[in-house]
Structure 1
Amino acid sequence: MEYDEKLARFRQAHLNPFNKELGPRQHEQRASKEAPEVTSEEALPELPPGEPEFCCTERVMDLGLSEDHFSRPVLRQAIEECKQTILELPEQSEKQKDAVVRLIHLRLKLQELKDPNEDEPNIRVLLEHRFYKEKGKSVKQTCDKCNTIIWGLLQTWYTCTGCYYRCHSKCLNLISKPCVRSKVSHQAEYELNICPETGLDSQDYRCAECRAPISLRGVPSEARQCDYTGQYYCTHCHWNDLAVIPARVVHNWDFEPRKVSRCSMRYLALMASRPVLRLREINPLLFNYVEELVEIRKLRQDILLMKPYFITCREAMEARLLLQLQDRQHFVENDEMYSVQDLLDAHTGRLSCSLTETHTLFAKHIKLDCERCQAKGFVCELCREGDVLFPFDSHTSVCTDCSAVFHRFVWPDPPLGQVCVFPVGREGRRGGGRGDIWGSVFAA
């Protein structure tokens, strides 16, 4: 009996509401013909005594949503009537629940009319932005222009492949700022002054990006300060996003995220992996207080000393050992430049562990696995002991004049400017220092 009642309700809900030739009795007769085992009394169960009928709801509730010819005024009127019906129906009743579902469908239908899924180009180029039309149906994205939710199921939206700027298709022509990636490509440097504030008066009490009027009192719009640029922005251009500030890292070793504008957040995200920080020039004292940086610098110096072995070793080139550092290519080019991501990983300890593993792998190839690389080792020319030395060994030192390798207990690291104590070797290797002696060794 309960199943028959549900079946009758289902069929009644799916009848065509625009078929005016059929009255309520004819609906019952048709339902009874389709399901002869269900009687008219069973198909239309009586309502409980406390639940009155609302005849005015039938026209609203039976609005044919499968049709596409409704105009916006008709849908708005139907939405208002449906809302009023929901308020009049008894709480938690079946009819009220059905009315809520119908209200949702009506609003979705109205939204489809506002934002039709028209055939738009897949690629749009605007102010150096390269926008690609998204095909995902996610509803968790927010338009960077109008600061509203992007309903991927109903609305067309685009994403810039350069700076990941997201917006509705209707907001594309309202964009006034160029792509941040162009700034990264042309400028490629950080603001290294900590929150360089100049005051709202220097901005004429307007947003630094969209020039909308702002005030610290929140009238007409709240002024929000970006900790990276020091400037003030409106609530549409500053969403209180958090980011690590490079200036605070290199000066204070402070990694606490601060509030930044949307433009600054995209710029910092694109610059995070770019090695543009020369710490020895910006803050040389940092190496005296941060032990992790000292360890990382030593590992990077050793890797640079290992590099000549790999570029002259066929096995190392076939194994592509240097690609172990492909995510940090600057580590095989110099030992001075750092990116913000390098400093973040150094702070958490991940960079030190990763470099130690790479250093161990490189040293194992040179000293154990490859006979050709072993043959390019050195013998201490002062003590003449039999063990083979390499310039990256911790117990060795390298002469800055003749590039010879010695035991550290025999020849400690000399101060800068000290003349080589091995004149025969110096005269024999005269011509260019470390590069020439290594060139003669690697050519063997």
Structure 2
Amino acid sequence: MLLCPSVWMFAQGSVVASDVEQLKQAIAECKRLILELPEHSGKQKDTVIKLIHLRLKLQELKDPEEDEPNLQVLLEHRFSKEKSKSVKQMCDKCSTIIWGLIQTWYTCTGCYYRCHSKCMNLINKPCVRSKVSHQSEYELSICPEVGLDKQDYRCAECRTPISLRGVPNEARQCDYTGQYYCSSCHWNDTAIIPARVIHNWAFEPRKVCRTSMRYLALMMSRPVLKLKEINPLLFNFVEELVEIRKLRQDILLMKPYFITCKEAMEARLLLHLQDRQHFVENDEMYSLQDLIDSSSGRLSCSLTEIHTTFAKHIKLDCEKCQAKGFMCELCKEGDILFPFDSHTSVCHDCFAVFHRDCYYDNSTTCPRCARMLERQHEDSQNP
């Protein structure tokens, strides 16, 4: 297939470069030919090369896309114009290839929804990040299917007619929502399902719709799972979770040492957990990423290393933190004790620390609590 004369002349550099309008027509003709020619054919590749030459000529005079805004806001999406011309992407609206070299395209900075510039006005799906902001909780039932008839045999999202027989459109089930979607809204992407992890400790990725895939990706690191309430029996069957819970409890006991220690604050020790900041706030909340890393063993190794670093600062490196240790008042023997030591027990009332064996063998009350009660009694007698 031959190029039109205007395209060929521009590609050969025989036309005056100041003729911007004619140059734009030549570029448009090249774009049309690229879309019409067989993909990966020699003629298509030659046309692409000529288009590059034409664009370079135009860039010397004028930005070919200067009329396209760099940022557009639509349905809570914040679309940013992409600069990449070589990477092939799929348009989430029309499900066709985005030719970055010849088509303008945008990506939402919140949920990474991609689309052609020409498809912008046809979008009817709001940004998934807004849902994450307003509804930060998972569906915790395993594939809560209600049936295609309850959906009136229409896609749960765009309401396109669908059928299990594939006529007029194939119905695809999302394992996260349990609902059925058309092929434009469900691309057979896979994701780990939170409900299957919490109830069955199963991490096999399942097929989900595009919206669920984005929602799960954005929610991955959010600590919204309170395992103690959702499935407390999980700790009876998963040893890794028991170990991680103990490490988290120890880290919370170490935190008061660090927030009152100038050296620890200057060394920013607590920033070792900046990727999992909820670990220094409580020992109950988990993110889906925490559970995935627990299953692989990565989280246990990482927390053990951090636990060792923290304990070394308190017990060996810092004299001020060492001075905040305890002596066992029951046996009055042994080394300085800390509440996060494995062989100690802590009084629930006054938080004094004792050897575990001494604490459980002792039949009397805590010595420190006894002193505090006696002092209170004396103060009441002598106001």
Q: TM tier, shorter chain?
A: 0.7 to 0.9
* 1:426 correspondence with 2:369: yes
Q: Helix, strand or coil: the match of 1:327? A: helix
Q: Note the alpha carbon deviations across 1:162-186, whole angstroms, 9 max, x for none.
A: 1111111111111111111111111
Residue matched to 1:203: 151
Distance in 2, matches of 1:319 and 1:71, equals 62
AA at the equivalent of 1:426 = C
Contact 1:79–1:107 (CA under 8 A) maintained in structure 2: no
AA at the equivalent of 1:249 = V
Structure-1-length-normalised TM-score: 0.73
Distance in 2, matches of 1:256 and 1:406, equals 45
* 1:333 correspondence with 2:277: no
Distance in 2, matches of 1:241 and 1:398, equals 50
Residue matched to 2:331: 383
Contact 1:121–1:133 (CA under 8 A) maintained in structure 2: yes
Change (3 A) 1:105 1:413: farther
Q: Note the alpha carbon deviations across 1:194-245, whole angstroms, 9 max, x for none.
A: 0000011111111111111111000111000000000000001100001000
Distance in 2, matches of 1:79 and 1:131, equals 28
Change (3 A) 1:216 1:106: farther
Residue matched to 2:265: 317
Higher RCO (CA < 8 A, seq sep 6+): 2
Q: Note the alpha carbon deviations across 1:267-296, whole angstroms, 9 max, x for none.
A: 000000000000011111100110000000
Contact 2:293–2:299 (CA under 8 A) maintained in structure 1: yes
Change (3 A) 1:58 1:226: closer
Structural mapping, 1:28-47, within 5 Å: none
Q: Give 2:300's match in structure 1, choosing from 352, 369, 378.
A: 352
Change (3 A) 1:231 1:413: farther
Tell me, which stretches of 5 or more residues in structure 1 are unaligned? 1-55, 84-95, 110-115, 415-419, 432-444
Distance in 2, matches of 1:430 and 1:270, equals 52
- C-alpha displacement of 1:399: 1.7
- C-alpha displacement of 1:400: 1.5
- C-alpha displacement of 1:424: 4.2
Change (3 A) 1:241 1:407: same
Residue matched to 1:170: 118
When the two chains are superposed, the root-mean-square deviation of aligned CA atoms in Å is 3.2
Per mean C-alpha deviation after superposition, the further-off stretch among 422-431 and 281-290 is 422-431
Change (3 A) 1:75 1:380: closer
* 1:252 correspondence with 2:197: no
Q: Helix, strand or coil: the match of 1:342? A: helix
Identity %: 72
Structural mapping, 1:57-206, within 5 Å: 63-64=8-9, 66=11, 68=22, 117=65, 119-206=67-154
Tell me, which stretches of 5 or more residues in structure 2 are unaligned? 16-21, 54-63, 375-383
AA at the equivalent of 2:215 = Y
- How many residues are treated as equivalent by the alignment? 351
Residue matched to 1:239: 187
AA at the equivalent of 1:146 = C
Change (3 A) 1:64 1:247: same
Change (3 A) 1:231 1:58: closer
